[in-house]
Amino acid sequence: MSGLGGLNKSDNGVVIGLVQLQLPVVATPDDLARQTARIVELVGKARRNLGTMDLVVFPEYALHGLSMDINPAIMCTMDGPEVAAFKAACRNNSIWGCFSIMEANPGGNPYNVGIIIDDQGELRLYYRKLHPWVPVEPWEPGDLGIPVIDGPKGCKLGLIICHDGMFPEMAREAAYKGAEIMLRTAGYTAPIREAWRFTNQSNAFCNLMVTANVCMCGSDGTFDSMGEAMICNFDGTIVAQGTTGRADEIITAEVRPDLVREARANWGVENNIYQLGHRGFTAVAGGAQDAPYSYMHDLVNGRYRLPWEESVKVTDGTPSGFAAPQRLYGESRKEAAE
């Protein structure tokens, strides 16, 4: 179904390009400016590479690298020069783009943010990572939910980031809000390779949804990212995959949101996202529409607790060199100090 990587585009197709971006080292504002320019260059490469491409996707940490540095001097703002450069690149190349920034947060730690910009240079999606990769990542937990937008050619498009994809609830929520294509950007390194592959496929199959997923690539002298771009069809099969680990390679494929809509309407067996809320509809009219899952009720009521909670050893960021936090969720630094 990839249309030879998008070379042969159908009337209903959306062509996606996943950039296995070379992992950078960014420690200063000058480094940040250089990496911004590099990403802009690759937006142009994507357009020249494939005239049929609708959307180019850059990995998490594309701008900041994997240092986990929260130095205010290299944090971004939505009205800053980096986002402005990405908007201009999309507008100048008539292409949609998905980008990653670490955004300054005066009330707490920076947010790990994903944005989608349309081919006119307008911001269309703004997402704060809900599940930072603890204990390693210091980012503030996101507080805006999972937005779903009308993407290129009218597809329903969602975005999650890296570790988010290890929680089946994230992909389910994106699909529940209508996403036909879910992007997953990541900075994962090789130890996560197998989990990355099967969660990308299961997120697609369990929700009858296309998933398009990409990691950083290459080495920064400390970390080795793996590339591993993957586009999975709604039945969980892999449509396209980056297997060479070649930095800056763009993995492309055509996907068909219209076939996602068709499957969601017509599948009986394994239409799991529908059947979750209509259990046993063969036996009872409309199926059981209860919520039989204890963890859902406990999470909503603020009493989520595992049977083995007391034995969990890593419960803050101190093993990764971060001070134990003093703020509660929702508190600003100022409120916590009072």
pLDDT single digits (tens) 250-287: 999 999 999 999 999 999 999 999 999 999 999 999 99
Per-residue pLDDT at 1: 58
Cβ contact 192:228 at 8 Å? no
Q: Is the pLDDT of residue 81 over 80?
A: yes
The DSSP bridge partners found for residue 59 are: none
Quick: pLDDT tens for 172-230: 999 999 999 999 999 999 899 999 999 999 999 999 999 999 999 999 999 999 999 99
DSSP string, 76-123: B-TTSHHHHHHHHHHHHHT-EEEEEEEEP-TTSSPEEEEEEE-TTS-E
Residues 178 and 302 in one domain: no
Would 254 be classed as within a structural domain?
Answer: yes
Residues 199 and 306 in one domain: no
Residues 179 and 325 in one domain: no
Would 282 be classed as within a structural domain?
Answer: no
Quick: pLDDT tens for 85-132: 999 999 999 999 999 999 999 999 999 999 999 999 999 999 999 999
Q: Is the pLDDT of residue 232 over 90?
A: yes
Residues 61 and 29 in one domain: yes
Q: Tell me, what CATH number does 62's domain have? A: 3.60.110.10
Residues 14 and 51 in one domain: yes
Residues 206 and 308 in one domain: no
* Sign of CA pseudo-dihedral 126, 130, 135, 139: positive
Number of neighbouring beta carbons within 10 Å of residue 2 = 20
Confidence band, pLDDT 50/70/90 cuts, at residue 243:
confident
Catalytic residues: 60, 129, 162
CA distances from 94 to 58, 225, 243 (A): 16, 29, 29
What is the spatial distance between Cα 81 and Cα 94, in angstroms, rounded to a whole number?
20
Confidence band, pLDDT 50/70/90 cuts, at residue 337:
confident
Per-residue pLDDT at 24: 97
Residues 269 and 299 in one domain: no
* Beta strand residue intervals within the chain, DSSP E: 14-20, 55-57, 96-103, 111-117, 123-128, 148-150, 156-161, 181-186, 210-215, 217-219, 224-226, 230-232, 238-241, 249-255
Of 88, 17, 120, residue with least CA distance to 59: 17
Would 280 be classed as within a structural domain?
Answer: no
Would 288 be classed as within a structural domain?
Answer: no
Q: Is the pLDDT of residue 3 over 90?
A: no
Quick: pLDDT tens for 278-325: 999 999 999 999 999 999 999 999 999 999 999 999 999 999 999 999
Q: Do strands 210-215 and 181-186 pair parallel, antiparallel, or not at all (unpaired)?
A: parallel
Residues 271 and 326 in one domain: no
- pLDDT averaged over every residue in the chain: 96
What is the spatial distance between Cα 101 and Cα 32, in angstroms, rounded to a whole number?
11
Confidence band, pLDDT 50/70/90 cuts, at residue 161:
very high
Residues 266 and 298 in one domain: no
DSSP string, 11-57: TT-EEEEEEEPBPPB--SHHHHHHHHHHHHHHHHHHHHH-TT--EEE
pTM over 0.85: yes
Would 43 be classed as within a structural domain?
Answer: yes
Residues 60 and 193 in one domain: yes
How is residue 181 written in tokens? 């294509």
Would 287 be classed as within a structural domain?
Answer: no
Of 157, 155, 159, 154, residue with least CA distance to 142: 159
- Secondary structure class of 294 (helix, strand, coil): helix
What is the spatial distance between Cα 152 and Cα 143, in angstroms, rounded to a whole number?
26
**Domain's final residue, options 275, 307, 323:** 275
Residues 12 and 152 in one domain: yes
**Domain of 123, in residue numbers:** 3-275
